[in-house]
Amino acid sequence: MQSFPARMVGAARLHSGTYEEVESDITANGQAIAVVVIASLAAAVGVGATDPRALLGMLGAAILSWLIWVMLTLFIGTRLLPGSATKADFGEVLRTTGFSASVGILRVLGVIPAIRGPVFAVVTIWMLITFVIAIRQALDYTRTGRAVAVCLLGWFIHGILFFGFVRSVI
């Protein structure tokens, strides 16, 4: 079994074996949530948030947003677009997608104003790719295309729900 940091690196490097390991490790829920918390804090710092209230608000929004995307992706992947071997539960998807956020830690580099935009753009695309790999492994898909379809559909619905909610609160 890999260490926590090794799992984070493996997830960021798109190693399917790392995703399989965390998917089957029912004790890794806390680690997966920790990755999301660390990556979310790194993003908040990267955009210049320094006020503790702002940091907590951004952290709460990021975790809520991730949990909604996890639930949507689980539903879409197991009910609407399952593969022939698909079977997964919330914990498996939580663990794999939590670790897929590992690369998000690089968003802390956004504290350098000159590279903030490119860092966030590259890391966001990288995170979408890691999320696809996480879903492919968690849902036991044999083709990446199905995982892409599930993630994009979940991302689209999530965007409507989350950003519509944020807009109505503001």
**Residue 164 identity:** G
CB distance 46 to 107 below 8 Å: yes
The parts of the chain modelled with pLDDT lower than 50 are: none
Long-range contacts of 125-128 (CB under 8 A, 24+ apart): 126/12, 127/100, 127/101, 127/103, 128/155
Residue 167: the pLDDT is 55
Angstrom distance (rounded) from CA 153 to CA 170 = 25
pLDDT of residue 109: 98
Q: What is the pLDDT of residue 70?
A: 93
Tokens of 73: 């992706």
First CA to last CA across the chain, in angstroms?
A: 45
In the prediction, which pLDDT does 49 show?
87
- The predicted structure's pLDDT at residue 160: 85
User: By the 8 A CB rule, do 65 and 162 touch?
Assistant: yes
* Count of domains observed in the chain: 1
Q: Is the dihedral angle over the CA atoms 128, 130, 133, 139 positive or is it negative?
A: negative
Nearest Cα residue to 92 out of 7, 26, 15, 10? 26
Non-local CB neighbours of 136 within 8 Å, separated by 6+ positions: 16, 19, 144, 146, 147
Calpha distance 95→52 (Å, rounded) = 27
Output the pLDDT for position 61: 87
Query: Domain range holding 26?
Result: 4-169
Question: Which of the 8 DSSP states describes residue 25?
Answer: -
Comparing CA positions, the residue from 48, 54, 49 lying closest to residue 116 is 48
